[in-house]
A and B are shown apart, each in its own frame.
Chain A
Amino acid sequence: MTPALEIRGLVKRFDRQTAVDGLDISIAQGELHAILGPNGAGKTTTLRIVAGLLRPDAGTVSVMGHDVLSHPEDAKRVLAFLPDDPLLYAKLRPMEYLEFVAGLWSLDPATARSRAAQLLEWLGLADRTELIEGFSRGMRQKLALAGALIHEPRVMILDEPLTGLDAAAARQVKNLLVERAKAGVCVILTTHILEIAERIAQRISIIRRGRIVAQGTMAELRASAGAGATLEDIFLEITREETTGAAGG
C-alpha cells in the first residue's frame, strides 16, 4: 500500500543554519504518528514543507503518492494542515470561514454546508455566530480544526493541536484523531505534552537537529531504553544535549 507520507533526504537551510538535515520518514495510511523534539529541532519546518508552505533545499516528499514539489495541488487536495497558532480571519463568522475553506478545496456547497454544521455542532460552536475576533484561543483552535476536517483529508498534519483547549475539548479532539486513524486517515501530530503521544500515538519519531534520532512504537522505544522507562525518560535521554544546553543558557 502507498505510504501516506514518504520523506527522503529532506534538507532545509535558513541562511547558514540547517533546520532539517537529511530527514527520512515513512508513515502508513491509518497510522497515528507523533513527532517529538525539543524547540528548534526542525519539526515545524518539516511539517510546513509537507504542507507545501516551504520549499526544501533537497530531498523528496510525497503525500499519498503525490509529489509535493512537482504536483502540489494533487498532494494538497488530500492533506490538511493545522499550524500551531492558526491565524483565522478576525472579521469572519465561523460558518463564513468554513465556507471559504470549502471553496478553497472546491467542495460541493450543499455537502460542505451540512458537514460544516455537523463539525460546529460537534465542537460546541454551533451557536457561536459572532465574528471570530471575539473567540477565545481554544475556540479558535476548534474552528481551525473544523476547517482542517471539512474536506475529509486522507492525511492530517497537526502542529500542537491541543494548545489552548480545555480538558473536555482536548479529550474530544484526541478521540477524534484516534477515530480518524482507525478510519484509515494518516494523522501526524507534534506535541510537547509527551503523555498524549504516549497514550494515543501508534508510532513516535523523535527529531533532533533536523534528523530522526529515534523511531518506533512505544514498546520498541522502551525496549531500547530499558524496561519501565516512560516516554519522558526516553525523550530526555535522547535530547539531553539540547536540554542541558538550554538550561545552561
Chain B
Amino acid sequence: MRLAGRAPGWRWLLAHELRLSWRGQGGKAVGFLLAILAIFWAFCHAAAWFVMRDPSRLGSGGALVTAGMITWFVVLLIVATAFGLSIIALFERNDLDLLLSSPIPARTVLAVRGIGVAVQSLGFFALFVIPFANGAMAHGYWRFAAAYPAMLALGMGASACAFAATLALVRAFGARRARTIAQIAGAFLGAGIFLAMQSFNFLPRATQVKLIMLSRSDAAQAMIGPESVLWWPFRALIGDAIPFAAVTIACVGAFVLVVVRAERLFLEGTKESITSPARRARPSAEFRAGLARVVIAKELRLILRDPRLISQMLLQVLYLIPLFAILVRKATAQDLLAPTIILVASTLAGNLAWMTMSGEESPDLVGSAPVSRERVLWIKVLAAMAIPVGICVPFLLYYATVSIVWLAAFAACAAGALASCAVVQIWTAKPGSGRDLRKRAQSSKLVNLVEFFSAAGWAFACWLMMRGSWWAIAAIAFALVSPASAWLLRRS
C-alpha cells in the first residue's frame, strides 16, 4: 500500500502556521483572550463610528501629512516586529528539519513562513486600523475597504524587508553570527524608531525653529507636502486608487522577489544554523585559581554570550540617551538623572542576579560539588552586579564634577539599591528556572514587586538627598522594607 500522496499545498501549510501562531499567543487562555479582544474591538468600533463620520478631511492638507507620518511610524514598527519574528521563523523554530525534509518545496515553506510573519506582525496594528476602516464603511465610504488588502500588502512588504535583511546578515556573517546580530538589531530597531520620533524634542529650541522654517520652503513641501509620494502608504489604506495600486504592487512584488531569490540562501542559512560547527576559538592557556574567579568568569561569559540578554541590556542603556539629551539642555534636571539611573541599574541587577541564580543550567554539578550553596550564590550575585555597577560608574564620575554631596547621595543610594536587589535574589532564588527573562515575570510576581519597591525607594531617597531633604531617611527605611520582607519570605 502506498501511503505517501501529493505534497500538501501552501494553504494547508499556512493554516498550520497560523494555528501555531494563534496557540503561541493565547496559550491555555484562548477563550479569555478572545473575550477581552471582543470587548476591546467593540469599544474601538464604537469610537471609530463617531470619528469616521466625515473621513474626507483625512485625504488632504495637514491631516493627511500627520496621518501619513503616523502610518510610516506604524509601518516601521511592523518592520521591526517582522524582523524579530523572521529570526524566530528562520532560526529558532525547531520544525525546519521536518518541513525541509518533507516533499513540500522549500519555496513554499519560505513563502508561507513569510505570510505567517506578515500576519503576525500586522495583528496588533490591525486591531486599531480595522475598526476605523469599518467605521468609515458604515457611513457609506466604501473605498475604505481597501484598508484590508492594503494592510496585508504592507505586512508582506514589511515581512519581505525583514526576511531580506535577515538573509543578508546570513550572507555577510554566516548563520550563527547573523542570528546574534539580528536579535540585537531587532530589539534596537524598535527602540531606535521610538527615539528617532522623539529626536526633534531633544534638539535645542533654535534648531527646532530653523527646521520648521526649512520645512515650509517649496523644495521641502514638494518632498513632504500632502501630494508627496511619501504619504502613499496612508493613501493606500484610505483607498486612493493610484497609491493603493502602487503600494500593493510594490509590497507584494518585493515579497515575491525575496521568496524567489532567497530560496537558496534560506536553505543554506537554516542548514548552517542547525548543523554546522560554530566558529572555533583558541582555548585559554591557563585555568583561573579559586572558586570566586572561576564562578565570576563563567557567569560573565554566559551573560555576554547571550544575544537576547545583551539586546535587553543594551536597550535599557539606549533608553538612557534621551535622559542625556535632557541633561544637556536643562541643567536643573540633573537631580532627576541619578534616581532614573538607580531604577535602570536596579532593574538590570535584578534581572542578571535572577539569571545567574535561578537560571543555573547545571544545578546538579554545582549541587554535587564540595562547596556551600550560599557561597556560590554570593559569588554569582557579585558577578551579576558587575554590569550595573559599570553603568553607574560614568554617572558617578559626572556627579564628581558637579557636587560632592550629589556624588555621595548617588553612590550611597545606588549601592543600597544594588545590595537590596542582591539579597532579595539570594533569599528567594529557585535554581533551575531557566535563563529566559520572560519566565521571570511569570515565575514570582511577589519577588518582582518587592524588588521594584526597593528600587523605587532608593531612587526616591536619592532624589530627596540631592535636594537636602531629611525625608530621605524615611525613603531609605521604606526601601529597606523590601529586603526585610524577602528575608521573611525565605524564612516562611
Contact = CB atoms under 8 A, between A and B. Distances in A.
A66 to B, nearest CB: 10
Nearest to A81: B368
Contacts of A52: 367-368
Contact of A73 (B294, B363, B364, B372): B372
A73 B370 contact: yes
A103 B298 CA distance: 10
Nearest to B372: A73
Interface string A100-139: 1111111011101100100000000000111101100000
Interface stretch (B38-46, B211-219, B301-309, B331-339): B301-309
A42 to B, nearest CB: 18
B75 to A, nearest CB: 35
B286 interface: yes
Interface string B276-317: 011111111111111101110110011001100000000000
A104 B371 contact: yes
B382 to A, nearest CB: 14
A223 interface: no
A129 B277 CA distance: 10
B263 interface: no
Contacts of B290: 103, 106
A52 B365 CA distance: 11
A177 interface: no
B492 interface: no
Interface string B353-397: 000000001111111111110000000000000000000000000
A19 interface: no
A83 interface: yes
Contact of B280 (A96, A109, A130): A130
Nearest to A103: B294
Contact of B284 (A51, A86, A95, A104): A95
Interface of A: 48, 51-53, 72-77, 79-81, 83, 86-93, 95-96, 99-106, 108-110, 112-113, 116, 128-131, 133-134, 147
Given A52-B367, A99-B287, A99-B297, 18 more contacts: A51-B364, A51-B367, A53-B368, A76-B369, A79-B368, A81-B368, A86-B362, A86-B365, A90-B361, A91-B301, A92-B301, A96-B298, A99-B284, A100-B298, A104-B365, A129-B280, A130-B281, A131-B278
Interface of B: 277-291, 293-295, 297-298, 301-302, 305-306, 361-372
29 contacts: A48-B364, A51-B364, A74-B370, A81-B364, A83-B364, A86-B362, A87-B363, A89-B361, A90-B361, A92-B298, A92-B301, A100-B295, A101-B365, A102-B294, A103-B293, A104-B291, A104-B365, A104-B366, A104-B369, A105-B369, A109-B286, A109-B289, A110-B287, A129-B280, A129-B283, A130-B280, A131-B278, A133-B278, A134-B278
